Amino acid sequence: ANTNTPKSDKSSVLQPSLPAELYLDPVVYQEELRNIWYRQWLYVGRTDQLPRPGDYILQTIGDQSIIVTRNEDGGIRAFHNSCRHRGSVLCQAPQGQFRQGRIICPYHRWGYSLNGELLSTPFLDLSNENKNLSLYPVRCQSWRGNIYLNLDTSDSVELGKTADPGFTVLNNWPLEQLKLGHSHQFELACNWKIFWENYLECYHCPGIHPELCKLVPLYKAALSTDRLDPDTELADTVASGIESWTTTGKAISSPFPDLSEAECSAGHTFMELYPNQYIVAHSDYIRQVSIIPLAADRTRISAEWLFSPEAMARADFDPTPAIAFSKQVLDEDAMVNELNQRGITALPHQQGYLTPQEGDLALFHQRYKAWMDILD
pLDDT of residue 2: 36
pTM for the model stands at: 0.94
Give the span between the Cα atoms of 242 and 138, in whole angstroms. 44
pLDDT of residue 87: 98
Percent of the chain at pLDDT > 90 equals 90
Helical packing angle, 192-199 and 320-343, nearest 10°: 120
> What SS3 state is found at 371?
helix
Give the span between the Cα atoms of 369 and 362, in whole angstroms. 11
Residue 10 has pLDDT above 70, yes or no: no
Residue 8 has pLDDT above 70, yes or no: no
Intra-chain end-to-end CA distance of the chain, in Å:
39
Which pLDDT tens digit goes with each residue over 311-342? 999 999 999 999 999 999 999 999 999 999 99
**Letter string b/e over residues 12-43, b meaning 16 or more CB atoms within 10 A of that residue's CB:** eeeeebbbbebbbeeebbeebbeebbbbbbbb
pLDDT of residue 3: 34
- Output 101-109 pairs: Cβ under 8 A, ≥24 positions apart: 101/53, 101/54, 101/72, 103/67, 103/69, 103/79, 103/135, 107/83, 108/83
Give the span between the Cα atoms of 154 and 158, in whole angstroms. 11
pLDDT-derived band at 12 (thresholds 50, 70, 90) equals: low
Which pLDDT tens digit goes with each residue over 347-356? 999 999 999 9
pLDDT of residue 238: 97
**Best CA proximity match to 82, nearest among 60, 62, 99, 65:** 65
Residue 99 has pLDDT above 80, yes or no: yes
The amino acid at residue 275 is P
Backbone angles phi, psi at 178, to 5 degrees: -75, 155
Q: What is the DSSP letter of 134?
A: P
pLDDT of residue 123: 93
pLDDT of residue 132: 86
Average pLDDT over residues 59-75: 97
pLDDT-derived band at 7 (thresholds 50, 70, 90) equals: very low
Bridge partners for 8 per DSSP: none
pLDDT of residue 73: 96
Residue 368 has pLDDT above 70, yes or no: yes
Torsion of Cα atoms, 237 then 243 then 249 then 251, to 10° = 140
Residue 294 has pLDDT above 70, yes or no: yes
Query: Are 46 and 55 in contact, with CB atoms under 8 Å apart?
Result: no
Choose the weakest-confidence range: 4-18, 81-95, 248-262.
Answer: 4-18
pLDDT of residue 5: 35
Burial (CB < 10 A; 0-12, 13-18, 19+), residue 101, is middle
pLDDT-derived band at 231 (thresholds 50, 70, 90) equals: confident
Residue 89 has pLDDT above 80, yes or no: yes
Give the span between the Cα atoms of 201 and 360, in whole angstroms. 7
Q: Is 155 left (phi over 0), alpha (psi -120 to 50) or beta?
A: left
pLDDT of residue 375: 85
Give the span between the Cα atoms of 345 and 21, in whole angstroms. 9
> How far, rounded to the nearest angstrom, does the alpha carbon of residue 53 sit from its chain's CA centroid?
26
Residues 6+ apart with CB under 8 A from 19: 350, 351
